[in-house]
Amino acid sequence: MKTILVGDITLAVKKLCMEACVILGEDVLQALERAYASEESPVGREILGRIIENAHIAKTENLPLCQDTGMAVLFLEIGQEVHFEGGSLTDAIHEGVRLGYRDGYLRKSVLHPITRINTGDNTPAVIHTEIVPGDGLKIIMAPKGFGSENMSRVVMFPPSAGMDGVKEFVVQRVEESGGNPCPPIVVGVGLGGTFEKAALLAKKALLRPLGTTNPDSLLAELESDLLDRINRLGIGPLGLGGRTTALAVHVNAYPTHIASIPCAVNIQCHSSRHREIEL
Ligand code: SF4
């Protein structure tokens, strides 16, 4: 049994918030550079160059990558041998978000859905936990901008829709989103499970490093087909035309009920931010 003090979790979450909103992952930068090298549209290339330059400035000057520093989404993989001490784990995470957004001078974007009154400190966060074997704790912080989040959808298809129906839906979702999610985007697809499981699968798919191949050959083929179709839409960087509409399509799948094909599409903008730590 390993003991982790919740105070250490607060400090870790604070640091993750401040870093995630400022530092773009190396995998995303490399994907943007590959897109810059291959983009045919002069305007598209210009935009990709500015996005890359913006990422370098953000990192060197410790400034947010985007004015929308998002709602804090946290994924915790908690080893079943871990014991937390010193208070509530949930409170500790929220305190970390509060401090990170305050001390990082990050925009507070969270409010009550009916009154629209801002909570003032970017809490509460959205927290997903998973119990895993061992005595480790992994925390992933993924600030989510809502220009792209708003373009996401879940559909419960009947089995008769088949994979053709699923593919059509994913491509159409990207087409209808146009420039709204700040392309080039990453498209997370969740297939199977239940209504809420599909959405979570899609969001988790966004965390996979760009440039990696899905270990499931069936899904890898689906990802490649979808990416090809999406990048033939001509939406391009920031919706101003070009071949680079998506940097990647990532699909996660889970068994489902005989009566359904749940399908979720979670769209991530080019500010594809997430940082992680293991305690
Ligand atoms: S969708 Fe992304 S890039 Fe666009 S404003 Fe929101 S956080 Fe920024």
Among the atoms of ligand 1, which is closest to the Cα of residue 269?
2
Residues 157-195 pLDDT 10s:
999 999 999 999 999 999 999 999 999 999 999 999 999
Q: Closest Cα partner for 244 from 161, 174, 176?
A: 174
* CA 134 to ligand 1 centroid distance, Å: 37
Among the atoms of ligand 1, which is closest to the Cα of residue 148?
1
CA pseudo-torsion sign 234, 235, 239, 242: negative
**Residue of 28, 68, 152 to mutate, ligand 1, most atoms within 8 A of C-beta:** 68
Confidence of residue 69 (pLDDT cuts 50, 70, 90): very high
Q: Which residues line ligand 1 (CB under 6 A)?
A: 66, 68, 70, 145, 147-148, 181-182, 269-271
What pLDDT is stored for residue 37 in this prediction?
Answer: 98
* CA 245 to ligand 1 centroid distance, Å: 15
CA pseudo-torsion sign 66, 72, 78, 83: positive
Q: Closest Cα partner for 201 from 158, 164, 273, 152?
A: 152
What pLDDT is stored for residue 264 in this prediction?
Answer: 98
User: What is the percent of the chain where pLDDT is above 90?
Assistant: 100
Task: Let me know if 116 is exposed, middle or buried by CB neighbors in 10 A (0-12, 13-18, 19+).
Answer: exposed
**Residue of 148, 187, 266 to mutate, ligand 1, most atoms within 8 A of C-beta:** 148
Strand 153-157 relative to strand 126-132, pairing: unpaired
What pLDDT is stored for residue 115 in this prediction?
Answer: 98
Bond from prior residue into 255 cis (ω within 30 degrees of 0): no
**Residue of 185, 247, 269, 274 to mutate, ligand 1, most atoms within 8 A of C-beta:** 269
What pLDDT is stored for residue 262 in this prediction?
Answer: 98
* CA 24 to ligand 1 centroid distance, Å: 13
* CA 110 to ligand 1 centroid distance, Å: 15
What pLDDT is stored for residue 268 in this prediction?
Answer: 98
What pLDDT is stored for residue 53 in this prediction?
Answer: 98
What pLDDT is stored for residue 120 in this prediction?
Answer: 98
Instruction: Using a cut of 0.95, tell me whether the model's pTM lies above it.
Output: yes
Q: Which helix (H) or strand (E) holds 256?
A: strand 246-256
* CA 210 to ligand 1 centroid distance, Å: 18
> What mean pLDDT do residues 57-79 have?
98
What pLDDT is stored for residue 20 in this prediction?
Answer: 98
Among the atoms of ligand 1, which is closest to the Cα of residue 182?
4
Bond from prior residue into 262 cis (ω within 30 degrees of 0): no
> What mean pLDDT do residues 93-103 have?
98
* CA 272 to ligand 1 centroid distance, Å: 9
What pLDDT is stored for residue 218 in this prediction?
Answer: 98
- Are 233 and 175 spatial neighbours (Cβ–Cβ below 8 Å)? yes
* CA 40 to ligand 1 centroid distance, Å: 24
Atom 1 of ligand 1: nearest residue by CA position = 147
Atom 7 of ligand 1: nearest residue by CA position = 145
Q: Compute the 3-state secondary structure of the chain and give helix, strand, coil in percent, each to the nearest 5.
A: 40, 25, 35
* CA 1 to ligand 1 centroid distance, Å: 41
What pLDDT is stored for residue 27 in this prediction?
Answer: 98
Residues 24-63 pLDDT 10s:
999 999 999 999 999 999 999 999 999 999 999 999 999 9
> What mean pLDDT do residues 246-251 have?
98
- What is the pLDDT of the chain when averaged over all its residues? 98
Confidence of residue 196 (pLDDT cuts 50, 70, 90): very high
Confidence of residue 128 (pLDDT cuts 50, 70, 90): very high
